[in-house]
Copies of this chain bind each other. A is one copy, B any other.
């Protein structure tokens, strides 16, 4: 199984967490990003994530490998949702297990930041004024 994946369905975070847990690792850190009802001052009704799937999966897995090299962690997994999302849906899940908390926090943050900046995924928001558009990184 790949450690970075795209999902067209709701992210099953419980299942992902089971895959990350490790009996030798005392620390687990996870990040969950949800679709908010507002963004950059606009009221959001729904949003779609579109990805360059093949390249996104390739680059996401490179990022996980980098995290495994860079930090003393045991397991790391990230899944990003694509397609049409509703308010309150989970857009991204990152989970890391490690013997010590410092590495777990840093690796989780690293994976999230790198995914946001390097993985070709694009957010298209629909707003209450009926308009929609591509959203730049905050």
Contacts and interface: CB of A to CB of B under 8 A. Distances in A.
B27 A30 contact: no
A33 B25 CA distance: 9
Interface in A23-44: 23-39
B31 A25 contact: no
B31 A101 contact: yes
Contacts of A35: 26
When all copies of this chain in the complex are counted, the total is 2
Contact of A36 (B26, B101, B104, B108): B26
Give chain A's interface residue range (CB within 8 Å of chain B): 20 to 34
A32 B18 CA distance: 13
Contact of A25 (B36, B100, B112, B138): B36
Interface in A87-114: 87-88, 99-101, 104-105, 108-109, 112
Nearest to A38: B24
Nearest to A102: B109
Contacts of A34: 21, 25-28
18 contacts: A21-B34, A23-B37, A23-B88, A24-B36, A24-B37, A24-B38, A25-B36, A26-B39, A27-B31, A27-B32, A29-B30, A31-B101, A31-B104, A33-B101, A36-B99, A101-B109, A105-B105, A105-B109
Among all A-B residue pairs, the 3 with the closest Cβ atoms: A26-B36, A28-B32, A29-B31
